C-alpha cells in the first residue's frame, strides 16, 4: 500500500497547542512539574518534527519498550500511542479523520482507538514515517498485533521483543536481556548507528535515579490532602517512558517530588484554590486505574473543585524497588522494563503478587482510599478482563468502585456530560457511605 506524501501541518498544529499551554502555565503556574511536563513534551515533539523534515532515520516504538536504547544510540524515536492519539490527534483536533482512515483497513470499534488513530494518521501522511518499528508483547493484544501493520504500511523492517510469562522472575529477566542485545545489533544494522555503551550505562544510572524518585513520590502521596495535581497522576507515567534514563526525566521527577513534598508539609492540596475562592476541602480519596483519557484532565480538576474528590494515585505510579547496576546495563534495563507498572500489572495474572488487582487492593489500604475509579475501555483486552474480579475484591475489603465506559483517545465515544453524570453518581455513593459510617 502506498502512503501519501508527508504532511507536517497536523504535527505543527499540535506543537503550537502544546507550546501555547506551556506559555499559559508560565503565566498561571500550578506547579513547576506541570510546567516542565509541557516544556519537555513540546521539545520531544519538536525534535521528532525536525528529524522528520531532515529525512533522518526515526525509530517508532510501542508502549513501554526501553527508551534507554535509542537514547544511547542517538536515534530519534517516538512512542506510537504517546505521539499519535496522545499528542498530535488531540492537539490538532483530527480524531475523527484518523479513525475514519483506520476503518478503511478494517480497524473498527473492537480495536482500541489509540492504535486505530496511529494507523489512521500514518495512512493520512500525518505520522512521521519510521525507519523501523519496535514492539513487544507484554502490554496488550492490539499492541502486539498492530506493529506488523505499521511496518507493512511504511514498508520498513520491524523487531519484536519477546517477553516470556510471567514478567517478574530472574530467568525471564535474563532472557529479555538477550533479546535487548539482539535488538541493539539489529538497530545498528538497520540504522547505521552504533551503540555508545558508556552512554547506555549513563542512562541506566539516570533510570535508577528515576525509579527512586518515583518511589519517593508514591510515598509522599499518602499525605492528606492529596498534594498532587489530579491529571499528573496519569501524565507522569507517560513522561517516565518518553524521557526514560535522561537528565530531563530526573529533572522532571525531582521537581514533582519537591513540589508534592512541599505541599504535603504545608497540608496543601495539589490544585491551588481558584483566585478569590476558599480552598477546597478534601472529602474523598480515590485511586485511578488507567488508561485515563488524556482529554479528560479538566474533568478531574472539576471533580476536585466541585466535590472535593482527589485522585491520590494512579496504579501506573506504583513502581517497585528495581535493582539497577550501570555495569550490567542490559540486565538492568530488562529488569526495569519488566517492572514497569504497566507491564508488571497487566502482563501478570491479575490476582498474582504482581497483578493489577493485587496492586490496587493494597494501594487502597496504603492510601486510605474511599473508592476506586476504573477506566474501563471495552476494546482493551488488557483491562476489561479484570474489571469484574477487581470490583469483587475491592467490595470484599469495603472499598466501592466505579467503571467509566470510555475510550482513551476518542472524545466522541463518551460525552463530557455523560462522564460527569457518572462521576456524580459515584460521589452520591461515597456520600451515602459517609453518612452510614
Both 175 and 237 in one domain: the answer is no
| Of the residues 177, 194, 211, the one at which a domain ends | 194
The band of 318, judged by pLDDT with boundaries at 50, 70 and 90, is: very high
The band of 168, judged by pLDDT with boundaries at 50, 70 and 90, is: low
Both 40 and 97 in one domain: the answer is yes
Contact present, 135 and 144 (Cβ < 8 Å): yes
Report the CATH number that the domain containing residue 16 is assigned in CATH: 3.40.50.11890
Is 84 a domain residue?
yes
For the record, the C-alpha cell of 84 comes out as 499519535
Could you give the number of structural domains in the chain?
Answer: 2
Residue 230: phi, psi to the nearest 5? -50, -50
| Closest by CA position to 383, among listed 393, 374, 396 | 374
pLDDT at 217 over 90: yes
The helix (H) or strand (E) run that includes residue 208 is helix 197-220
3-class secondary-structure state, position 51: helix
CA distance 104 to 162: 30
CA atoms within 13 A on the CB side of 41: 29
Backbone CA torsion sign across 385, 390, 395, 399 = negative
Both 66 and 176 in one domain: the answer is yes
> Which domain does 422 fall in, by range?
199-436
CA distance 48 to 227: 33
Both 215 and 246 in one domain: the answer is yes
For the record, the C-alpha cell of 2 comes out as 502506498
Sheet with 132-136, edge to edge strand ranges: 77-79, 59-61, 132-136, 158-161
pLDDT at 187 over 70: yes
Q: What pLDDT is stored for residue 291 in this prediction?
A: 74
Name 285's bridge partners.
310
Both 228 and 374 in one domain: the answer is yes
Both 180 and 215 in one domain: the answer is no
| Of the residues 161, 194, 227, the one at which a domain ends | 194
Q: What is the pLDDT of residues 118-141, one digit of tens each?
A: 888 888 888 888 999 998 876 676
The band of 63, judged by pLDDT with boundaries at 50, 70 and 90, is: confident
CA 128-22-224 angle, to 5 degrees, is 115
The band of 255, judged by pLDDT with boundaries at 50, 70 and 90, is: very high
pLDDT at 41 over 80: yes
Q: What pLDDT is stored for residue 409 in this prediction?
A: 73
pLDDT at 274 over 80: yes
The band of 163, judged by pLDDT with boundaries at 50, 70 and 90, is: confident
User: What is the pTM for the complete model shown?
Assistant: 0.94
Both 252 and 397 in one domain: the answer is yes
Both 185 and 307 in one domain: the answer is no
What average pLDDT does the chain have? 89
DSSP E strand stretches across 274-431: 284-289, 309-314, 371-376, 401-405
Per-residue DSSP letter, 287: E
Q: What pLDDT is stored for residue 437 in this prediction?
A: 56
The band of 83, judged by pLDDT with boundaries at 50, 70 and 90, is: low
| Of the residues 133, 165, 194, the one at which a domain ends | 194
Is 206 a domain residue?
yes
Is 368 a domain residue?
yes
Per-residue DSSP letter, 28: S
Both 307 and 293 in one domain: the answer is yes
Is 3 a domain residue?
no
Lowest mean pLDDT among 6-10, 35-39, 64-68, 93-97: 93-97
Give the pLDDT mean for 199-227.
98
Name 310's bridge partners.
285
Both 101 and 17 in one domain: the answer is yes
Report the CATH number that the domain containing residue 293 is assigned in CATH: 3.40.50.11900
Q: What is the pLDDT of residues 363-418, one digit of tens each?
A: 999 999 999 999 887 777 777 788 999 999 999 999 999 998 877 777 777 888 99
Is 1 a domain residue?
no
Is 4 a domain residue?
no
Both 372 and 348 in one domain: the answer is yes
Contact present, 35 and 25 (Cβ < 8 Å): yes
CA distance 207 to 334: 12
| Closest by CA position to 313, among listed 293, 336, 290, 334 | 290
Is 320 a domain residue?
yes
Both 237 and 274 in one domain: the answer is yes
Is 107 a domain residue?
yes
Amino acid at each position: 500500500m502506498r502512503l501519501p506524501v508527508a504532511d507536517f501541518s497536523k504535527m505543527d498544529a499540535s506543537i503550537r497547542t502544546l507550546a501555547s499551554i506551556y506559555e499559559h502555565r508560565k503565566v498561571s503556574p500550578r506547579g513547576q512539574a506541570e510546567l516542565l511536563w509541557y516544556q519537555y513534551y513540546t521539545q520531544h515533539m519538536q525534535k521528532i518534527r525536525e528529524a522528520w523534515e531532515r529525512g533522518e532515520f526515526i525509530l517508532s516504538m510501542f508502549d513501554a519498550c526501553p527508551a534507554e536504547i535509542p537514547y544511547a544510540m542517538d536515534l530519534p524515536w517516538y512512542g506510537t500511542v504517546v505521539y499519535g492519539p496522545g499528542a498530535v490527534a488531540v492537539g490538532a483536533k483530527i480524531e475523527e479523520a484518523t479513525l475514519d482512515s483506520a476503518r478503511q483497513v478494517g480497524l473498527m470499534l473492537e480495536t482500541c482507538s489509540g492504535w486505530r488513530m496511529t494507523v489512521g494518521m500514518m495512512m493520512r501522511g500525518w505520522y512521521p514515517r519510521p525507519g523501523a518499528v519496535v514492539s513487544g508483547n507484554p502490554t496488550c493484544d492490539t499492541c502486539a498485533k498492530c506493529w506488523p501493520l505499521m511496518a507493512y504500511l511504511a514498508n520498513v523492517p520491524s523487531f519484536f521483543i519477546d517477553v516470556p510469562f510471567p514478567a517478574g522472575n530472574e530467568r525471564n529477566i535474563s532472557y529479555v536481556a538477550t533479546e535487548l542485545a539482539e535488538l541493539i545489533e539489529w538497530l545498528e544494522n538497520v540504522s547505521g548507528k552504533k551503540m555508545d555503551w558508556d552512554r547506555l550505562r549513563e542512562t541506566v544510572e539516570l533510570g535508577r535515579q528515576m525509579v527512586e524518585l518515583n518511589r519517593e513520590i508514591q510515598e509522599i502521596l499518602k499525605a492528606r490532602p492529596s498534594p498532587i495535581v489530579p491529571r499528573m497522576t496519569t501524565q507522569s507515567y507517560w513522561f517516565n517512558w518518553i524521557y526514560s534514563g535522561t537528565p530531563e526525566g530526573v529533572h522532571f521527577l525531582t521537581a514533582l517530588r519537591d513540589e508534592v513534598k512541599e505541599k504535603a508539609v504545608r497540608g496543601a492540596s495539589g490544585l491551588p484554590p481558584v483566585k478569590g475562592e476558599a480552598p477546597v476541602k478534601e472529602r474523598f480519596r480515590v485511586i485511578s486505574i488507567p488508561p485515563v483519557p488524556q482529554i479528560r484532565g479538566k474533568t478531574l480538576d472539576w471533580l476536585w473543585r466541585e466535590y472535593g474528590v482527589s485522585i491520590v494515585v494512579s496504579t501506573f505510579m506504583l513502581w517497585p524497588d528495581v535493582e539497577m547496576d550501570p555495569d550490567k546495563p542490559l540486565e538492568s534495563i530488562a529488569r526495569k522494563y519488566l517492572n514497569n507498572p504497566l507491564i508488571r500489572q497487566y502482563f501478570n495474572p491479575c490476582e498474582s503478587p504482581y497483578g493489577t488487582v493485587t496492586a490496587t487492593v493494597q494501594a487502597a489500604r496504603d492510601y486510605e482510599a474511599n473508592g476506586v475509579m476504573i477506566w474501563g475501555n471495552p476494546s482493551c483486552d488488557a483491562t476489561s478482563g479484570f474489571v469484574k474480579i477487581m470490583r469483587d475484591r475491592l467490595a470484599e475489603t469495603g472499598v466501592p468502585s466505579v467503571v467509566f465506559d470510555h475510550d482513551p483517545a476518542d472524545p466522541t465515544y463518551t460525552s463530557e456530560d455523560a462522564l460527569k453524570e457518572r462521576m456524580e453518581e459515584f460521589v452520591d455513593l461515597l456520600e451515602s457511605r459517609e453518612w452510614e459510617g
